[in-house]
C-alpha cells in the first residue's frame, strides 16, 4: 500500500519545539489509531526516540519532521494531515482524516465506513471531549 501523511508548517514547528524541550532532538512523531472513543476509533500521538519497527511507515516531512505510523493504523490514516490549532482553551494537535465518515466534536475520535475493525480493541467515550 502506498501511504502518505502530511503535517502543517505550524505543527512541524511545534513538534521540533517539543523535541527540544524534552531533549530528544532525533525523535520522530509516532501517530497511531486505537479502538475507543465515542466514534469507534481514536488517535494517539507521542514523541518516540526508538527506531521504527519493521512494518512501520516512515515519512519525512518537507520541514524535516519524521512521522512514523504502524501498518494497521496506516490503513485508517492514509492521506491525513496533522494540524496544530490554538483556541481559547490552549493548543493541540488535530488530525484531518479524509477516511473519516464520522468524527467526535473534538476530532480525537472517528469512524470509517469499514465494518469489523480487526486488531483494535473496542472502547467507549471520548478522551478528548468527554462525549459518551
17's CB contacts (< 8 A; 6+ apart) are: none
CATH assignment, 5-111: 2.60.300.12
pLDDT tens digits for 28-58? 999 998 876 665 788 899 999 999 999 999 9
State which of 6-15, 40-49, 84-93, 106-115 shows the largest mean pLDDT.
Answer: 6-15
Integer Cα distance of 21 and 127 in angstroms: 25
Please tell me the predicted confidence (pLDDT) of residue 88. Answer: 74
125's CB contacts (< 8 A; 6+ apart) are: 36, 37, 38, 131, 132
Q: Computed from CA positions of residues 72, 106, 67, 27, in that sequence, does the dihedral angle turn out positive or negative?
A: negative
Model-level pTM?
0.76
pLDDT of residue 119 exceeding 60, the answer is: no
Domain boundaries, the chain: 5-111
Amino acid at each position: 500500500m502506498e501511504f502518505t501523511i502530511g503535517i502543517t508548517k505550524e505543527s512541524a514547528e511545534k513538534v521540533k519545539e517539543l523535541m527540544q524541550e524534552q531533549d530528544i532532538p532525533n525523535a520522530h512523531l509516532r501517530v497511531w489509531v486505537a479502538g475507543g472513543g465515542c466514534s469507534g476509533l481514536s488517535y494517539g500521538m507521542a514523541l518516540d526516540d526508538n527506531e521504527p519497527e519493521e512494518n512501520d511507515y516512515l515519512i519525512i516531512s518537507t520541514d524535516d519532521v519524521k512521522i512514523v505510523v504502524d501498518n494497521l493504523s496506516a490503513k485508517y490514516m492514509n492521506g491525513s494531515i496533522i494540524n496544530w490549532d490554538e483556541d481559547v482553551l490552549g493548543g493541540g494537535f488535530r488530525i484531518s482524516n479524509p477516511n473519516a465518515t464520522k468524527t467526535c466534536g473534538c476530532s480525537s475520535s472517528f469512524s470509517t465506513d469499514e465494518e469489523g475493525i480487526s486488531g483494535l480493541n473496542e472502547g467507549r467515550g471520548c478522551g478528548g471531549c468527554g462525549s459518551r
